[in-house]
Structure 1
Amino acid sequence: MTRSSFSRRRFLKSSAATSVAAMTPCFFNSTQPISSEFRCLNDKAPIGLIGAGGMGTGNMKAASEYVDVVAIADVDSGRAGKANMELSEGKADVYEDYRSVLERDDIKIVHIATPDHWHTKPLIEAMLAGKDVYCEKPLTLTIDEGKLIRKVQKETGRVVQVGTQQRSQFRQFTKAVAVAAEGRLGKIKRIQCAIGAAPVSKAIPVAEVPKELNWDMWLGPAPQTELRNGRETTVDKNGKKKRARRNNFHYEFRWWYEYSGGKLTDWGAHHIDIAMWALAANGQSTNIVSIDGTAKHPVEFKDGVALQKDRYNTANEFMFTAMTDEGVEIVIRHDTDNGCLIEGEKGRIFVNRKKLVGKPIEELKDNPLPKDAVQKVYKGLPMESQGRVAHWLNFLHCHKERIEPISDVHSHMTMLNVCHLAGITARLGRKINWDAKTETIVGDELANSMLARPYREGYEIEMNALATSQ
């Protein structure tokens, strides 16, 4: 199937459904739940899925009541075919090249759930093609990619939701931010983000590329290299042995700096997001001026480059402290209970995906938050569902109303810059001073060169080819 073609059958079916929906009256008012906006007869939004792994298919299943997957793009034909059966009973059009999805006029929304190194390019090209986008976190591999994403979003006005779903999926995070915003903690002095240690591996052998995988396209903008795949016997904390998968593609991409930032941009993109959200909600600066600390890697580094190419190379243990221009410490560590410990002059709270605790929380029993406190920090947007679907309902509502969603690209990049700077500090083993206004590293030429990475020839961002007036 060529990039420019798509199923006439699917198009006609979609058009017919739209006509039926147009004849079916739907009445909404401000007291109805947000999900009612999308429950009209045949009122599902056609959507294109780019990246059909576990996250992409899981998200589409969660949002299945409100979206209709009409196109799937993945460089692994096995994954694409499986997702097609699970999400659309085999009725979606399947492509290897994501640009075939972006060229379709019947698709106004795309979901990008590719490996991290494949986020920026299709996201920018989707915005230029007139699409609204729900893109998984982290949006970028580098700080300079974030600058370009923010620029294109401002110029196109597209609605982009980042997959930092803790803002919607787990209501205790929003409540924690509301507690801070209502002054219950006083001025915040320190926030600790515990994000867990990363796995390590022994040498992983070079392996034959699976016949269903386009390896060159999977690598995309990243450097050309050989596919590695194997198994390794590991022992858990209870002494139980198991055979663990070790490779440099699909899920395991996140333990290679070539494709990810490791735990710093994986779990870090979740908890540091909560930390920066709480600071901003409390009226405090989120501008970072420096970051320092130590990290342990499973390989040696020289000038920020891993010397061994046959095993995981992201930091597996670490302790960093980022300082804001108001003297707030943001600590990023691999140990202690996963979650965010927010410490203020009046008290402290701890929040993760299972709990929200602390004396200021206990005091809510006798001195509850104002009824609108949580919705205020949620940008005044409708709040109905919890769970995975909640972040999607927020996105679909903002797509419909043409407004900024709860996880916007601008606040996301403010916090993701902290994650990226921690990664540079880890690889160089020295303190970094940061100028938030110019978004440059001060007085360190090598560190400053790591704000960007070259794209492999043939996989550069297409800034003009897909531009549209939509």
Structure 2
Amino acid sequence: MAAKRQFTRRDFLQTTSAATAAGVFLGTSAVSRGQDSPNERPVFATIGLRNQGWTITSKSTKFADFAAFADVDANVLGATNEKLKERTGKKADEYSDYRKLLERDDIDAVMIAAPDHWHTKISVEAMLAGKDVYCEKPLTLTIDEGKLIEKIVKQTGRVFQVGTMQRTENDHRFLKAIALIRDGRIGDIQKVTCGINGATGSPKIPAIDVPEGLDWDMWLGPAPKVPYRALPEMRVGYGGGVPLYTNCHYAWRNWYEYSGGQMNDWGAHHVDIATWALGAGDSGPNKITPVSYSLPVEYKDGYPTVSDQYNSPTKFEIHANMPGDIPMVITSEGDNGILFEGTKGRFFVNRGKLTGKPVEDLESNPLPEGAVEDVYGGPVSENHTANFIEGMRSRKQPISDVWSHNRMLETCHLANIAIRLGRELNWDPAKREIIGDDEANAFLSRENRKGYEINV
């Protein structure tokens, strides 16, 4: 097995070097051939396996071999490895500590699906260890973390794909939406509304014993040391099989300590597409106004006053002033998706539909040939992993790069800061700092817990 992995890596790196020397960006067909020839397949590892971790892994087995898994929950680690064996016929090596995985020189890239508060530390350490990185969205917990990742990508030359899969998948309807705008089908954009769903609060959640097999201290990692909390009621559907109310497992998304609530969860998808459509991927907003919002617990000076309940917003309407003074509304109300309104019409897009008169008009007046490919920057990849591997081979950044992602995510981070402090924020997109508000600027970074610092 070791000899085979070394051969696979050597062959992959030779392919990469040849593509780089020629300055060629390999298309999807070149990547797809790799599924038939093991000698052309890169070697991957996944860190963080529950839910989305397995989703991105299972989509990637067509293109890559998985040599290692890491997770702080022994139960998830073992169960996911069994799924891999069922899918590919072989298991990956198992690690409870991802750092041991990064020490291996036979791994070309890592896929990261740990909770958000771990993304930056693992990503930085992976790049410094010579690995290319695919990391789930939202990429960061703070704006300054995004700046650090950008610095390390530039320093190391690693290829980095953010897991905003709407840029590639979902039948390319989001690409078609942007193509409609670029072709002038709604005229000049006047307003964009991103519906990203509301959330619910929680009852008081008691501190209880840590479940067997879970390394709670390691799960917390950079976050403050707190007790494990959960109620007996179990979650059903996606993210099921774990407590419905907890500060771990699937529900960590509802805590500012580990995430950014719906603003960073669904916002990282729809605000991304809206920002791309506006051509604001290298600038972002200059003002964030919290028109209305509801928090499930009391706050003081931007921090929750209790520690046993969910604390991220449940309802909100945020106005972001985008370049050209175009308003972007981010709301918990209405249909999940994006409404584009222009001087000549409007249309709506989400993962299930693309509707509106400009869309209906395509039947008699189709988009120019290659319009969708022009948005994408070339032939559209088979899926997000295929695009990542194309980037690995060409040494060019993929469709969801860290710079445009961070600029988009700054809107979401600023919206959360505005809600926490209850006031409008003026943002300097050139300096990437809040204007005239030292208290708000303090939320641009967060100190990691001792022992979990990021060493660069």
Q: Which residue number in structure 1 is paired with residue 40 of structure 2?
A: 43
* CA–CA separation in structure 2 for the residues paired with 1:21 and 1:314: 44
Identity of aligned residues (%): 48
The one-letter amino acid of 1:356's match is L
Question: Where do 1:4-403 residues align within 5 Å?
Answer: 10-15=1-6, 32=29, 34-88=31-85, 91-170=91-170, 171-232=172-233, 245-280=244-279, 286-380=284-378, 382-385=379-382, 390-403=383-396
CA contact 1:289–1:325 (8 Å) conserved in 2? no
Change (3 A) 1:422 1:20: closer
* CA–CA separation in structure 1 for the residues paired with 2:145 and 2:358: 39
Partner of 2:287, secondary structure, is: strand
CA contact 1:342–1:348 (8 Å) conserved in 2? yes
CA contact 1:43–1:66 (8 Å) conserved in 2? no
Q: Which residue number in structure 2 is paired with residue 238 of structure 1?
A: none
* CA–CA separation in structure 1 for the residues paired with 2:386 and 2:420: 39
Change (3 A) 1:41 1:309: closer
Q: 1:404 aligns with which of 394, 397, 402?
A: 397
Query: How many Å apart are 1:60 and its aligned residue?
Result: 1.0
* CA–CA separation in structure 1 for the residues paired with 2:105 and 2:10: 17
Q: Deviations along 1:129-175, whole A, 9 cap, x unmatched?
A: 11111100011000110111111111212111101001111110010
Change (3 A) 1:335 1:231: farther
The one-letter amino acid of 1:296's match is S
The one-letter amino acid of 1:440's match is E
Most deviating of 323-332 and 34-43: 34-43
Length-normalised TM-score, structure 1 = 0.88
CA contact 2:201–2:310 (8 Å) conserved in 1? yes
* CA–CA separation in structure 2 for the residues paired with 1:87 and 1:18: 20
The one-letter amino acid of 1:15's match is Q
Change (3 A) 1:322 1:14: same
Partner of 2:65, secondary structure, is: strand
CA contact 1:191–1:329 (8 Å) conserved in 2? yes
Partner of 1:66, secondary structure, is: coil
Q: Which residue number in structure 2 is paired with residue 25 of structure 1?
A: none
Gaps of 5+ in 1: 1-9, 23-27, 235-242, 464-470
Query: How many Å apart are 1:298 and its aligned residue?
Result: 0.8
The one-letter amino acid of 1:51's match is G
Partner of 1:265, secondary structure, is: helix
CA contact 1:289–1:436 (8 Å) conserved in 2? no
Query: How many Å apart are 1:384 and its aligned residue?
Result: 4.8
* CA–CA separation in structure 1 for the residues paired with 2:282 and 2:381: 28
Gaps of 5+ in 2: 14-18, 20-25, 236-241
Partner of 2:168, secondary structure, is: helix
* CA–CA separation in structure 1 for the residues paired with 2:334 and 2:304: 28
Q: Deviations along 1:222-269, whole A, 9 cap, x unmatched?
A: 0000000113599xxxxxxxx972100121100000000000000000
* CA–CA separation in structure 2 for the residues paired with 1:370 and 1:284: 26
* CA–CA separation in structure 2 for the residues paired with 1:292 and 1:249: 28
Length-normalised TM-score, structure 2 = 0.91
Query: How many Å apart are 1:462 and its aligned residue?
Result: 2.2
Q: Give the structure with the higher percent helix.
A: 2
Partner of 1:48, secondary structure, is: strand
Q: Deviations along 1:256-309, whole A, 9 cap, x unmatched?
A: 00000000000000000010010118x996443333322101100000000111
Partner of 1:197, secondary structure, is: coil
Q: Deviations along 1:47-102, whole A, 9 cap, x unmatched?
A: 11111111111111112111111111111111111111211456311111111111
Q: Which residue number in structure 1 is paired with residue 406 of structure 2?
A: 413
The one-letter amino acid of 1:174's match is L
* CA–CA separation in structure 2 for the residues paired with 1:309 and 1:285: 36
Change (3 A) 1:199 1:38: same
The one-letter amino acid of 1:300's match is E
Q: Which residue number in structure 2 is paired with residue 5 of structure 1?
A: none
Partner of 2:231, secondary structure, is: strand
CA contact 1:188–1:328 (8 Å) conserved in 2? yes
CA contact 1:193–1:332 (8 Å) conserved in 2? yes
The one-letter amino acid of 1:175's match is K
* CA–CA separation in structure 1 for the residues paired with 2:232 and 2:414: 32
CA contact 2:177–2:349 (8 Å) conserved in 1? yes
Change (3 A) 1:14 1:37: closer
The one-letter amino acid of 1:201's match is S
* CA–CA separation in structure 1 for the residues paired with 2:8 and 2:453: 38
* CA–CA separation in structure 1 for the residues paired with 2:33 and 2:47: 27
The one-letter amino acid of 2:100's match is S
The one-letter amino acid of 1:134's match is Y
Query: How many Å apart are 1:17 and its aligned residue?
Result: 5.7
* CA–CA separation in structure 1 for the residues paired with 2:427 and 2:408: 13
The one-letter amino acid of 1:191's match is V
The one-letter amino acid of 2:453's match is E
* CA–CA separation in structure 1 for the residues paired with 2:201 and 2:125: 35
* CA–CA separation in structure 2 for the residues paired with 1:106 and 1:188: 49
Q: CA RMSD in A?
A: 2.4
* CA–CA separation in structure 2 for the residues paired with 1:54 and 1:114: 10
